[in-house]
Amino acid sequence: MRLRNIPGSREVIAENKWCIQEPEQQKGHWHEAFGNDHPIYIEIGMGKGQFLTTLAKQNPNINYVGIEKYSSVLLRGLQKMEEEPLENVRFIRMDAETICDVFDKDEVSKIYLNFSDPWPKDRHAKRRLTSRQFFARYDKILKKDGVVEFKTDNVDLFDFSLEEIKEANWNLDAFTRDLHHDSAMNEGNVMTEYEERFSSMGNPIHKLIASR
């Protein structure tokens, strides 16, 4: 059974305290949701939540919001939270295209994009999370010194992303085509489930960091 098709997952999510049910109402008020003024980092396409929850454990003074489109994938992250609760984590089930309806100007300090859907057909380019259209959205919610960090094993998507950063008039602060053999960029790296799988198969992991 594919994760995104687990029966009853939406009902479970609707009753879970770790998942924000009406995220649009939090726009401009996310610090109230966490009860503090700590920086807010978001991961778009959080999958099962391993990356986000690991960071949250390491950094209790940072608030993390995980965004996932598929309810049955998000369910895995919620199950982990029930087993080991973290007060600096919240989840949202939503499509990333509406992210500006959920976060206000200067409300986010960092955005993580990990192993995003490559949308390989050219006509779907604007759906890629590293497209110029999405960078325009990130520009509206990131603080002035905020950054976007992107990891993938997909060479074509990475090449596309490098070009889109230029087209979006953003700065490419750093990049590598073999993260796990780049001592500088790999320092403190937290692996996702996909990253563990792909790297074990010998696939090099690509990473970039972009800012305005």
Burial class (CB in 10 A: 0-12, 13-18, 19+), 35: exposed
Edge-first strand listing for the sheet containing 108-114: 89-93, 63-68, 40-44, 108-114, 142-152, 206-211, 171-176
Segment holding 34, helix H or strand E: helix 30-34
Active site (annotated) includes residue 117: yes
- Catalytic pick among 95, 101, 106, 117: 117
Rounded to whole angstroms, the Cα distance separating 121 from 102 reads: 28
> Helices 155-167 and 132-141, interaxial angle, to 10°?
60
The full DSSP string for 106-135 is T-EEEEEEES-----SGGGGGGSTTSHHHH
Active site residues: 117
